[in-house]
Amino acid sequence: MKILAIETSCDETAVALVEGDGSSFTVLENLVSSQISTHQQYGGVVPEVAARMHVPVLPPMIAALTGWKKGDIDAVAVTTGPGLSTALRVGVETAKALAVSWGIPLVPVDHIEGHIYANFLDRTVRADAFPILCLIVSGGHTELVLMKDHGEYTFLGQTRDDAAGEAFDKTAAQLGLSYPGGPSVSLAASKGNAEAYILPRPMLWTEDYDFSFSGLKTAVRNLIAGFDSPSDQMIADVCASFQAAVVEVLVKKTHNAAMECMPKTVMLCGGVSANRALRGALQAVFAKTDIAVLVPELTYTTDNAAMIGAAGLRGLVDGKAAQDPLVIDADSAKTLGGHWKWE
Ligand code: KG4
Ligand code: ZN
């Protein structure tokens, strides 16, 4: 089956063609147009600007996909939420128009489920890889979820305040580093000493699988308030110390959850999965166990439509497609709780 996928939930306009059977997925084409340089001048994403910028860019990107001909696309997949309300609508209405005019089903895709399926792209994840413990770390989400099989999720825990990516973004802003904060903080951290400053490890020892990152951001603010005019090395040291604190908490909580759930695989999902320190630490902590660690290819870590195509193909197999595309709507506040089982 072949699916055309659209993603416009935040500041990336993305389209892709993905082929697969619902268990393995091949990316035929994957186009991403980033708005980051526009939002950088505001220090973060401005929702109305993001939505308006998707409008002129999306149709030519769809037209630029060459790997299909009339009649050989089985369905359209689109991110319906969570995300920025008006930005989502640009993708959703475009997807509806395509599906209606081609007379094919439309599959609504949860953006976070898309990040999970980024791990399935261009590789074979066998049935015996389940159950999979997913650590989801993006700009808006930090969650631990046990995926027992395709489409079967048990929710274990989440952040009580800032998401991991948000903590990187806010810390970068405090330090005068560019948006998005993850890449700029991790670049600076690579030149810094992670033991230079002692920063808190919020909720490291709690017995739940929840997280909290807002206090860490405040600790960084208090730390740098004591600096007169910090050198580049001091900024690098703060970044390294901050990153070490985030990574330690994420890895420890994931390890705790794994020891309880005994998954076959641990999977890293979402934009923060691009972080090399986190990828390395997660792989190291499970290296001597029977639990495999899967991280997405770097191109599929941040927002893209290939991951939406994979989740969409799986949704098609599982009967989640709408035969009447016009019933689909964007739902910006959609939470994973909508179809994820809470325990
Ligand atoms: O998944 P994503 O592209 O968008 C959302 O769904 O939110 O994630 C974006 C987040 C941003 O907060 C960004 O700072 C963070 O991912 N990020 C990183 C890295 N690359 C992107 N965080 C840490 N290290 C990175 N290398
Ligand atoms: Zn995302």
Tokens of 285: 């902590």
Identify the pLDDT of residue 130: 98
Band of residue 283 on the pLDDT scale cut at 50, 70, 90: very high
pLDDT band at 333 (very low <50, low <70, confident <90, very high): confident
Evaluate whether 275 touches 186 at the Cβ level (below 8 Å). yes
User: How far is the centre of ligand 1, averaged over its atoms, from the C-alpha of 233 (Å)?
Assistant: 24
Give the tens place of pLDDT for each residue, 97-148: 999 999 999 999 999 999 999 999 999 889 999 999 999 999 999 999 999 9
Instruction: Report the separation in Å between the CA atom of 182 and the middle of ligand 1, taken as the mean of its atom positions.
Output: 6
Evaluate whether 80 touches 104 at the Cβ level (below 8 Å).
no
Query: Which segment of 43-47, 166-170, 199-203 scores lowest on mean pLDDT?
Result: 43-47
Backbone dihedral angles phi then psi of residue 181, each to the nearest 5 degrees: -70, -30
Point out the ligand 1 atom lying closest to the alpha carbon of residue 168. 14
Testing ligand 1's pocket by substitution, the residue of 115, 175, 186, 272 carrying the most ligand atoms inside 8 A of its CB is 272
pLDDT score of 336 more than 90: no
CATH superfamily for 128-296 is ATPase, nucleotide binding domain (3.30.420.40)
Q: What is the pLDDT of residue 340?
A: 45
The pLDDT of residue 335 is 62
Looking at the chain, list the stretches that DSSP marks H as alpha helix, in order from N- to C-terminal side: 36-40, 47-64, 85-102, 111-117, 164-175, 181-189, 214-225, 232-261, 276-285, 306-317
Taking residues 53-68, report their average pLDDT.
Answer: 96
Q: Where in the chain is the domain with CATH 3.30.420.40?
A: 2-117+300-338, 128-296
Global confidence as pTM: 0.96
**Residue 81: CB within 6 Å of ligand 1?**
no
Q: What is the mean pLDDT of residues 210-231?
A: 95
Average pLDDT over every residue of 244-249: 98
Does ligand 1 lie within 6 Å of residue 110's CB atom?
Answer: no
pLDDT at 131: 98
First to last CA, the chain: 34
CA of 17 to the centre of ligand 2 (A): 18
18-36: pLDDT as tens digits: 999 999 999 999 999 999 9
- Is any atom of ligand 1 closer than 6 Å to the C-beta of 179? no
* CB of residue 182 inside a 6 A radius of ligand 1: yes
> 302 alpha carbon to ligand 2 midpoint, in Å?
6
180 preceded by cis ω (within 30°)? yes
Q: Residue range 74-94: average pLDDT?
A: 97
- Count the neighbouring beta carbons within 10 Å of the beta carbon of residue 61: 18
Does 82 sit in the ligand 1 pocket, CB within 6 Å? no
- Kindly tell me the burial class for residue 63, based on how many C-beta atoms sit within 10 Å of its own C-beta (0-12, 13-18, 19 or more): exposed
pLDDT for 341: 46
How far apart CA 29 and CA 134 sit, in angstroms, is 26
Nearest ligand to the CA of 270 is 1
- What is the Cα–Cα distance from 8 to 60, expressed in whole angstroms? 14
Higher pLDDT, 227 or 341: 227
**pLDDT tens-digit map of 289-324:** 999 999 999 999 999 999 999 999 999 999 999 989
Does the domain made of 2-117+300-338 have the CATH classification 3.30.420.40?
yes
Measured in Å, residue 111 CA sits from the centre of ligand 2 at 6
* pLDDT at site 29: 98
